[in-house]
Amino acid sequence: MERKNHLDLSPYNAYQVKAHCAIAWFPENENELMQIYQQNTSSRKIILGNGNNIILSKDFYDEEFIILNGCFNKVEITQNGITAEAGATLLQLSKNALVHSLSGLEIFYDIPSSVGGAVVMNAGTKEGEIKDVLVKVRYLDLVDMQIKEITHDEIRFEYRNSFFQKNANKLVLKAWFILTPGNIEEIKTRMEITKQTRWDKQPREFPNCGSVFKRPSGRFVGPMLDELGLKGFTIGGAQISEKHSGFIINRGDATGNDILSLIKIVQTKVKEKFGVDLEVEQRII
C-alpha cells in the first residue's frame, strides 16, 4: 500500500483546486483499507474516489486522505453482468461491458465518476440512474469494522441520494450490476452519441465537477441562472460557465472559497427571484 506525505491534491479533484493533505493512503484491496482505519482509530479520515463531485474548501488538511484513484479498481465480468471495486471509474466499467457485448451501461459512458461515488450519489442523467442496473453492494461498516452486503431495495435510492449518502460511516467497497447481452456495434454507437451529447452541452474544456445543484422540483437550474444574468459571472478563478450555467468552472486559479462564494451568491439570488432553495449536489470538504 502506498503512502504519500504532504500530497498535492490538485490532480485528485476535478476542479483542480490547489490543496494539500498531511497524509494520503492508496489502498489496493479491502484488507489494506481496513488497516488504515484500524491503525489509527482517533484521526478523521477523508475518502476520495475519482474526485469528481467534491469541493476542497481548505488549502491544507491535517486529516488523512484515502484516495481510490488508480487503485482498488478491479472489474470482473460475471454470468449476469459485471462487478467493480469502488475505485473503478464508470468509463472503465462501460468499456469493459462493451468489450463483452453487454448492454445497460451506455448512458454512464463519459460520466466522470468512480463506482463508489456513483453508488453513493445515485449518479445518472435523465435517461437513467445507477440504481437501474445495480443489484447489490459490499461495504465496510466503520461502526463495527465488519464487511457487509446490502441489496438494491435496502439501499433506498432517491434522486442523487442513497443509504450511503445518509450514512457516511458505511464505505462502498464493491458493486454488482446486472446487464443484458447486446450487439457490440449498437452499444458502441449509443456510447459515442451519449458522449457527444454531453460534450456539446457541458463545459468539458475546463476543470469542473458537473452539475453544482440538485434539480429543484418543477424547475431547471440553468434557465433560472440565465434569467438572472449570472452566466459568465466570475469570482476569482471560478466562473459560472458560459456554455451551461448549471456548471461552475475553474478558469485556471480558482480556490475552494471562490467556488463556495459563487454558490452562495447563486443560492441567494435564486431564492430572492424564484423562491427556490437550491441544494448543492457536490460534497464540500
Active site residue 211: yes
Q: Which one from 64, 106, 129, 281 is the annotated catalytic residue? A: 281
Provide the grid cell at 161. Answer: 441520494
C-alpha 169/C-alpha 186 separation (Å) is 40
C-alpha 128/C-alpha 143 separation (Å) is 32
How many angstroms from the chain centroid is the CA of residue 121? 7
User: What is the layout of strands, in order, in the sheet containing 60-67?
Assistant: 2-8, 20-26, 60-67, 45-48
Provide the CB-side half-sphere exposure for 96 (13 A, CA): 18
Active site residue 160: yes
Q: Which one from 113, 162, 211, 245 is the annotated catalytic residue? A: 211
C-alpha 25/C-alpha 33 separation (Å) is 9
In 124-280 the beta strands, taken as DSSP E runs, fall at 124-125, 128-129, 134-141, 146-151, 170-178, 180-181, 208-211, 234-235, 238-240, 247-250
C-alpha 280/C-alpha 141 separation (Å) is 26
- Is the CB of residue 108 less than 8 Å from the CB of residue 130? yes
Active site residue 261: no
Q: Which one from 160, 162, 190, 245 is the annotated catalytic residue? A: 160
Amino acid symbol at 13: N
C-alpha 159/C-alpha 128 separation (Å) is 11
C-alpha 168/C-alpha 266 separation (Å) is 27
C-alpha 45/C-alpha 66 separation (Å) is 7
- Is the CB of residue 66 less than 8 Å from the CB of residue 46? yes
Please identify every residue annotated as catalytic: 160, 211, 281
